[in-house]
Amino acid sequence: MATLAGCSSSPTAEKTVSRVSDPEATPQTVELHRFLQSCCGRVTMFGHQDAALYGHDGWKYVDGRSDVKDVCGSHPAVFGWELGEIELGKDQSLDAVHFSKIREGIIAADKMGGINTISWHSTNPVTGKSAWDKAPGSIHKILYEEEFTRKYFACLDHIATFLLSLKDEQGEFVPVMFRPFHEHTGSWFWWGSDFCTPDEYKELWHRTVDYLRGKRGIHHVLYAYSPDRVSTPETYFERYPGDDYVDVIGLDCYHRGGEQTASEYMATAGRILDFMSVESARCNKPFVFSETGLNTLNMKKWFTEVLYPVVAKTHPAYVLVWRNPFDNAENFYGPFPGHESCADFISFKDKQDIVLLDELNGIRK
């Protein structure tokens, strides 16, 4: 079993300067940030999107269950969650998950010592269509046309109400990462690079953070910036909203294909994580591999032979693979019992520098 004790020092022992963008961040939020930073360069936590909500064989809402735990005996260390369509005032997400279950899951994950990260595939407030609605100029309209500014803030009110409902048994806010407007260097979402200028993207981010923080008084959130694959650091940072608005720098980069594209994926992700690690150390902001995966895991040793060498080179604080939908067996990124990658996943987990919840527990709290 991998243990943090195997490292030169445990993450909590390391004194790391934390640079949280919110001067009023709660102590738990500052601590989460410091902990993430202390992992960078030394260990990588493993995360799975929607881990605790449902799994590949169709199970849904089973207390204490996750596909990862079914395979290796431990939950992932990092739990991903998705709030898309909360902005419409619905009680279920675009992935047919009740927000009440997400709230319960976040609070339960925090209680177990896990780390929570939230994504938001928001509908387009201008057109009312999905996150994938390629409507040029939507951000411009949100920023400069009152009708849409109002609509956007109404969306944010739903996000704010949800965030403000995240309290533990002591009544303290549960610190979370929030990762809006991700993969913006591509152009598949309405906030993509073909549909707005760099300044418009940054301004949308600023207004979002200012609203949640300033107007709604939310101080238990770390904001994560997560471009998709890019060729240069300049492109990565072109739309960076600034140190006062970002706490964590991320990367979304998938392995599309199988064996034939493995070395290309490893080289690309490795190169981007390289410059992120340098920047992370310079600015005291943790870097994370916020989304990745090989759809259907069609390489038996993907975890140890492809993913591990990528993360072991720089050690982002965590790597998160995407979801195992309960309603689509053709589409999954995490292991589940019976899949041919299980043995390899267990070897991956057993690496000294890979951390799941069982190794995190008792170290963070």
Q: Which residues contribute to the site for ligand BMA (CB under 6 A)?
A: 82, 84, 94-95, 121, 323
Smaller CB distance to ligand BMA: residue 46 or 326?
A: 326
Amino acid at 145: E
Q: Which amino acid is at 292?
A: T
User: Residue 186 to residues 58, 122, 235, 339: CA-CA distances in angstroms?
Assistant: 31, 16, 11, 32
Q: How far is CA 298 from the centre of its chain?
A: 23
Nearest-angstrom CA–CA distance, 109 and 74? 12
Smallest gap from Cβ 100 to ligand BMA, in A, equals 17
Name beta bridge partners: 54.
Answer: 60
CB of 121 to ligand BMA, least distance (A): 4
CB of 328 to ligand BMA, least distance (A): 8
Beta strands in the chain (DSSP E): 44-49, 78-82, 115-119, 176-179, 221-225, 248-252, 287-292, 318-321, 354-355
**Residue 265, class by beta-carbon neighbours within 10 Å (0-12 exposed, 13-18 middle, 19+ buried)?**
buried
- Rounded to a whole number of angstroms, the minimum distance from the CB of residue 84 to ligand BMA is 5
82 vs 358, beta carbon nearer ligand BMA: 82
Token representation of residue 203: 């301004």
**Residue 93 and residue 123: Cα distance in Å, rounded?**
11
Q: Which H/E stretch holds residue 141?
A: helix 138-144
Burial label for 149, CB within 10 Å (0-12, 13-18, 19+), is middle
**In the bound complex, which residue of the shown chain has the CB atom lying closest to ligand BMA?**
82
C-beta of 85 vs 359, nearer to ligand BMA: 85
Of the pair 121, 300, the CB lying nearest ligand BMA is at: 121
Instruction: In angstroms, give the least distance from the CB of 323 to ligand BMA.
Output: 6
Nearest to 64 by CA among 56, 78, 74: 74
CB 263 → ligand BMA: shortest distance, Å? Answer: 24
Q: How far is the CB of 321 from ligand BMA (least distance, A)?
A: 12
Nearer to ligand BMA, 184 or 323 (CB): 323
Q: Which residues pair with 82 in a beta bridge?
A: 119
CA angle 156, 162, 164 (to 5 degrees): 100
Q: Which is nearer to ligand BMA, 131 or 342 (CB)?
A: 131
From 308, 310, 240, select the one nearest 280 (Cα to Cα): 240
Q: Which is nearer to ligand BMA, 121 or 206 (CB)?
A: 121
Indicate the residue among 194 and 330 with the shorter CB distance to ligand BMA.
330
Taking the complex as a whole, the smallest distance from the CB of residue 97 to ligand BMA amounts, in Å, to: 9
